[in-house]
Chain A
């Protein structure tokens, strides 16, 4: 099982190298809610360094692709596809373009809640991808059931951090502040809270829309079982301070969580089967 961690700055390369990180995940301009996109030159340089250590680089390109993006993203993919190891995508358009470019199998399909059963693997394979990331809403037993079928493609899981639960093309914060005749500070940190729950949901607005995340989840208690069936465990970084994140990455890499404090973290859906067919009230 490889640990995939998100890098924010070039200066972090040494830190992650010392940890012996398996996969370096880098934001691109085509990443959703991108706050730390790397330039093409930086990606090239980083990839060369990471490959020298026998490790991998994945690029995050998980935006929904609209008609106006097609030309730019095709050019971008034609350049990066020759040297990175994986491209994490949410829209199959990226995979189709990679196929048309004759790129190697580097696409990794991560469309949020859509990857929920083992037959998706053949769809992924058919689109020329190397892997897929399971829906974060699956229980551990569902994960084990899916992965018990030999699919021939790699399987990932988001095992730590704030996991996305909503993404819109709308600029919700800008709209709100305009409506309230207040000013929106794009540099500030915003959270939502639902009145009856003691939890906070990070909300981020970028040019391409607004994204909302669940509270932090951790799968540390299930690592042994995940190790048996998952190829890539993704450690998400949003709204986690650098030191905490580095400690988590190290712990997931070594399996030593003795110094980790996780009070208030959830286990996501790993043991939570939700209702398929409730009474819908409206």
Chain B
């Protein structure tokens, strides 16, 4: 088993070459993700420039405290993910499983808080669509802001869900002892994905929650 995992696939000369090919492939995938989220950030910016007052008004309906806590939770999950990669590199299996489980747990906390925020929006009739109720001359533009809010945070949350699925597979593999200092590429690659999702939130939080706050 260990022999199989250590030997590179036959198209590679060395394990390090295989490792570099895998991380590079992951980065190419992440570039497509940058463009995917980039399109949404661009659309948001264009409409923010068109309706600055309505977007500032809209951001006042978001909960800065919950958003801030979620930012801290996600940064914490990135730390545990980085520590998981470290544990895999030095071959500490128990520590690896602990760190991966911690990352998964913090990811679930993030989604729980996000769900709570969504529930508040549903209760306040702030979800765009036929049940949207809003007083004021800027109602259509505020609804546009909230559409961006739900679209962007929703896509981000979908990525978190996928990340949580990937983490549970990693924990299973780590439990079975599949990773060693010589072979732990999946931990590194899923770590890259997890940190990328964190970076997206690092931009979403100030743009959606903070601008127009003063």
Q: Are both chains from one complex?
A: no
Chain B residues proximal to chain A, CB less than 8 Å:
none
